[in-house]
Amino acid sequence: MIYTIKTKRPQEFIDVTGMISDAVSKSSVQNGIAAIFVPHTTAGITINENADPNVVRDILNSLNKTYPVEGDYMHSEGNSHAHIKASLMGSSCMVLIRDGSLVLGTWQGIYFCEFDGPRNRKLFVKIIKD
């Protein structure tokens, strides 16, 4: 399944847990894994806390301290920091499916990580049956 995401800011984490749950429901798969893939090189995917929005803000701020937007980079497009962050968070992740539902911890949300927005983005989800 292919989902579209319209990001609004240069850098932001967008909770896509509902999107992945939707893909699981539509597949009718009861047990297996959801393989999630970001087809971009300046965006990534991660799982982290969904309760206090300051958590993902702290993650973004910390990444920006270590890999600043303006830095001593060779790539001329000015978004090297975003490429680095994309590789650190990763392009793919997977979540287990049990009894037709995603198995996540209480505080876990799945986040699309925009590092070079705003842009129109895509997210691929493949449900693999056990």
**Residues within the interface to a copy of itself (CB under 8 A):** 32-33, 35, 37-41, 46-49, 52, 54-55, 57-59, 61-63, 66-67, 71-77, 80, 83-84, 86-96, 103-105, 107-108, 122, 124, 126, 128-130
| Nearer Cβ to a copy of itself (87/101) | 87
| Nearer Cβ to a copy of itself (25/62) | 62
Residue 24 Cβ vs a copy of itself, minimum distance, rounded to whole Å: 14
| Nearer Cβ to a copy of itself (6/129) | 129
| Nearer Cβ to a copy of itself (22/35) | 35
Among candidate residues 29, 27, 56, the one with its CA nearest the CA of residue 114: 56
What type of residue sits at position 27? S
Q: Hunting for tokens 């037709």 — which residue is that?
A: 100
Q: Is 71 exposed, middle or buried (0-12, 13-18, 19+ CB in 10 A)?
A: exposed
Residue 97 Cβ vs a copy of itself, minimum distance, rounded to whole Å: 8
Contact between residue 91 and residue 38 where contact means Cβ atoms under 8 Å apart: yes
Among candidate residues 9, 10, 25, the one with its CA nearest the CA of residue 125: 25
What type of residue sits at position 24? V
Tokens of 40: 């971009």
Residue 8 Cβ vs a copy of itself, minimum distance, rounded to whole Å: 20
